[in-house]
């Protein structure tokens, strides 16, 4: 590209055609040369090559992902006692052996804002490796209450294990009622849980 000085005739005064409205005229030439205007000390550019530049395309936005079908909230909140202990401070792993054992604070693990305590490091490690197995269903709320669609506090000693999952109930008497119709009540509690847990 070269520069060629323009003559005064190239920029007649007062000719605003194709200019900026202030007396500065810019002409388009069929050449790749750029001429400085002597009269107004302006540069005139040949603009035709720019017409060959590709236009910016407006690409369609990625479709908005559908709302999550998972109704489980991001925050888990287990039922706890006044000390903030889940399962009343009992060892939930021991439920699978049919036992009610008291855990120790030094062997604790936190899940969903609640502290689970254990009687030994080995029991703690088992829980940490598979909390979805050992943590009581419905985040520790009464199972038969959940079948009715509401959250009810539990007695951690009133437990049952069914289909590899521990369930807690409000009292030993309620646990007896639960055990007599467990399969139907579990189905109802499972159906109510997604809504009831938000309350």
Q: Is 137 exposed, middle or buried (0-12, 13-18, 19+ CB in 10 A)?
A: middle
CA atoms of 46 and 50, how far apart (whole Å): 9
What are φ and ψ of residue 6, in 5° steps? -85, 155
Nearest to 95 by CA among 165, 154, 144, 178: 165
Contact 129, 121 (CB under 8 A): no
| DSSP notation for 50-112 | HHTSPPPP-PPPPPPPPPPS----SS----B-TTSBBGGGB-GGGGGGT---B-EEEEEEEET
What residue spans define the domains of the chain?
1-48, 87-196
Length of the chain (residues): 199
Nearest to 164 by CA among 186, 196, 141: 186
Beta strands 165-169 and 155-162, pairing class: antiparallel
18: left (phi over 0), alpha (psi -120 to 50) or beta: left
CA atoms of 121 and 32, how far apart (whole Å): 82
What pLDDT is stored for residue 66 in this prediction?
A: 52
| CA-CA-CA-CA dihedral for 119, 125, 127, 130, to nearest 10 | -170
How far is residue 42 from each of residues 5, 7, 10, 12, measured CA to CA in Å?
11, 12, 12, 13
Predicted TM-score (pTM) above 0.85: no
pLDDT tens digit at each of 199 positions of the chain: 444 444 445 444 544 444 444 554 444 444 444 444 444 444 444 444 444 444 434 434 445 445 444 444 445 689 999 999 999 999 999 999 999 999 999 999 999 889 999 999 999 999 999 999 999 999 999 999 999 999 999 999 999 999 999 999 999 999 999 999 999 999 999 999 999 988 8
């Amino acid at each position: 590209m070269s520069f060629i000085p323009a003559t005064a005739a190239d920029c007649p005064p007062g000719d605003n055609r194709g200019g900026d409205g202030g007396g500065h005229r810019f002409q388009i030439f069929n050449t790749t040369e750029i001429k400085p205007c002597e009269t107004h000390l302006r540069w005139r550019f040949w603009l035709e090559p720019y017409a060959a530049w590709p236009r910016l395309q407006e690409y369609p936005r990625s479709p908005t992902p559908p709302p999550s079908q998972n109704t489980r909230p991001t925050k888990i909140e287990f039922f706890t006692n006044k000390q903030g202990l889940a399962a009343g401070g009992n060892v939930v792993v021991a439920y699978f052996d049919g036992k009610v054992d008291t855990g120790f604070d030094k062997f604790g693990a936190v899940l969903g804002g609640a502290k689970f305590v254990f009687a030994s490091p080995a029991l703690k490690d088992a829980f940490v490796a598979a909390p979805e197995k050992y943590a009581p269903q419905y985040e520790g709320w009464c199972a038969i209450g959940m079948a009715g669609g509401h959250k009810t506090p539990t007695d951690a000693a009133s437990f049952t294990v069914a289909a590899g999952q521990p369930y807690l109930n409000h009292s030993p008497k309620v646990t007896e009622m639960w055990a007599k119709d467990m399969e139907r009540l579990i189905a109802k509690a499972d159906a109510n849980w997604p809504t009831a847990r938000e309350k």
